[in-house]
Chain A
Amino acid sequence: MAVKSFIRSAWYSAWLGWKLETNWADPLTFAGYYLLRPFASLLIVGFIFVIGSFAGGNTNTQYFTYLFLGQIAYVYVLQITVTTGYFIHEERAKYETLRSVYVTPTSIRPYLLGRALSAAFASTVSLLLTIVFGTIVFSGLLGLNLEIDLFRINYAALVMSLTLGIVSLISTGFILSGINLVSTRLQMNLSEYVSGIFFLLGDVIFPPTTLPYPLYLISYVLPVTYYTRAVRASIIDGAWDVVIPNLQMLLLMAILTTIVGSIVFAAAEKRAKRLGVIDRKSEY
């Protein structure tokens, strides 16, 4: 019964999150909004590649495909991290509804899960639109050959990679929300820090091994590294023997982040209640 109630709450929270994200605009404006930001990010990275390659006198299309897929996979990372990192501030200070959420029978956890799931769904819209428009601009207009064969993609592995990646990111979101519950100073910046670290160290636009020692060692404990690699391997190569090692590591990371996320959030919640700071606002 408790599980059923949890799932139902999460479902309605996802629906509410979707309404919050979408009901300010008509569908076309909404689609434009969800396309423009990730597409612009892809254009920045893509044009750095084009301009840097032109200046360096060498165009490696294999590397461009690597970049393109890394940036596409990063759409989920950014959207889920920002939504969950900003969640506590939004509920506590912006809409002043955190107290109301806490006094509901299922409390905050299914609500946070639902909001994160709606962010994941919105990211899917962004991702699909970005792939289509990115391919049109870079392959169609700029003549960069994306080395992607639709018939060689391992779709089963891709779905598994995305699912496990989303689980890891939502669990990371629970850690961020837990930190924000007991702090009012970090709420606007925390998600930016974390998504920035994921961008730099998560094998998104260059292999972490190009970073100086011991900085690149951090990438080995980030779920995003294995998520990005698994998505890339599923699309470029597709062979199970290439995909499975990354999927195994991603599964392990998803389990670990789920455990850590639950523990951190529970501890933060307990501390916030003890200190009486659940609904503390801080603005000037």
Chain B
Amino acid sequence: MHEFQVNVRAAIARARVRIKGTIQDPAWMIAEMIIPMFSIGGFILLYRALGAPASYSGFVIVGGTMIAFWTNVLWGMAAQFYWEKEVGNLEIYFVAPISRMAILLGMALGSIVTMVLRVFGIVLFGILLFNVSLNIVDPIAVAIIFTLTLASLYSLGMVFSSLYLLWGREAWKLNELLVEPIYFLSGFFFQIRGNVVVPLVLQFASSLIPMTFGLDGLRKVLILGQGLQSVLLEVSVLIAFSIALFVAAHYVLGYMENLAKKEGRLTLRWQ
């Protein structure tokens, strides 16, 4: 069989495991919908207490839905090789005649399918509980921004996953560090780029994260009622991030795998 076909089949098989595993465990699905609602609810009420316009509540909902994807990239993608190492599956992946990226791609595809269901749940909760209204005039723009944001995020997740081939707890702690600091820097709950209240140095730092552009674009097309023309910058930057990170993941995974083999840490548990 052609190598490409083998890798496609491996990716589909890995995606199937992810989808089946998630559907078999509804507690996870429910948790991923409900947990973000606590902070989302808190921040919406805070904006309302401060007398901010209603669109700000919509910004919080958009950020809250993307939290589901970001945590999935961190714990379901980047950290996945750590779990596989801990339960003894990593060796099996490495002796199989498939690319590491096919496995990661399968994880990403499986996650996206289950995550989209959760996003609908969060948006529905937001509309029903907090009376937030969406203002979509260009569904194609929504689809483009959403797809590109996910492509860049999961490519970034592939880059991070390479760290787990070498590290244990250090990478785990790094993952933890990429939760609240990224929520802040990417502007999950408020616009960072172009906001006069936010210092320029923060705006510059936020521009280095693909999620920032994804959130900016989604806010425009989901809440502010803008079309594709107004998000051309975001689309261009997200395409560039996606390609660069996907290519980088290929090289970084190979490099870290070799390094881990040389140092004998590829299958080392409880690091």
Contact = CB atoms under 8 A, between A and B. Distances in A.
Contacts of A54: 197
Contact of A49 (B46, B87, B198): B46
Interface string B18-41: 000100010110010011011101
A20 to B, nearest CB: 9
Given A40-B181, A283-B87, A185 B25 contact: yes
Contacts of B42: 199-200, 204-206
A49 B52 CA distance: 10
Interface string B187-200: 01111000101110
Nearest to A194: B38
Contacts of A43: 184
Contacts of B170: 24-25
B3 interface: no
A102 interface: no
A189 B195 CA distance: 35
A55 interface: yes
Interface residues of B, number: 46
B183 A44 contact: yes
A284 B21 contact: yes
A51 B183 contact: no
Contacts of A53: 50, 52
Nearest to B129: A212
Contacts of B195: 51
B176 interface: yes
A37 B270 contact: no
A33 B173 contact: yes
B31 A189 contact: yes
Given A52-B50, A284-B21, A95 B177 contact: no
A41 interface: yes
- Which label, helix, strand, loop or mixed, suits the secondary structure of the A interface? helix
A186 interface: yes
- Give the one of A52, A95, A197, A211 with max B CB within 10 A: A52
Nearest to B30: A189
Nearest to B270: A95
A185 B183 contact: no
A264 interface: no
A43 B39 CA distance: 14
A36 B38 contact: no
A261 B191 CA distance: 42
Interface string B150-171: 0000000000000000000110
Contact of B86 (A47, A94, A200, A206): A94
Contacts of A211: 45
B180 interface: yes
B71 to A, nearest CB: 10
A205 B189 CA distance: 15
Interface in A87-110: 94-95
A56 B270 contact: no
B146 interface: no
B180 A41 contact: yes
A47 B46 contact: no
A48 B173 contact: no
A147 interface: no
A189 B28 contact: yes
Contacts of A37: 176-177, 179-181
Contacts of A214: none
B181 A210 contact: no
Nearest to A41: B180
Contact of B35 (A41, A47, A52, A196): A196
Contacts of B177: 33, 36-37
Contact of B197 (A50, A188, A192): A50
B118 to A, nearest CB: 13
Nearest to B55: A55
Nearest to A67: B46
Contact of B46 (A36, A40, A48, A192): A48
A18 B115 CA distance: 36
- Give the one of A25, A33, A55, A205 with max B CB within 10 A: A55
Contacts of B53: 55-56
Interface string B51-66: 1110010000000000
B47 interface: yes
Interface string A17-47: 0000000110000000100111011011101
B49 interface: yes
A186 B26 CA distance: 11
B38 A197 contact: yes
A45 B49 CA distance: 13
Given A25-B170, A37-B179, A200-B41, A44 B50 contact: no
B4 interface: no
B167 to A, nearest CB: 9
B35 A192 contact: yes
Interface of A: 24-25, 33, 36-38, 40-41, 43-45, 47-58, 63, 67, 94-95, 141, 185-186, 188-189, 192-193, 196-197, 199-200, 204-206, 210-211, 283-284
Top 7 A-B pairs, shortest CB-CB distance: A196-B38, A56-B51, A52-B50, A40-B180, A189-B31, A52-B52, A40-B181
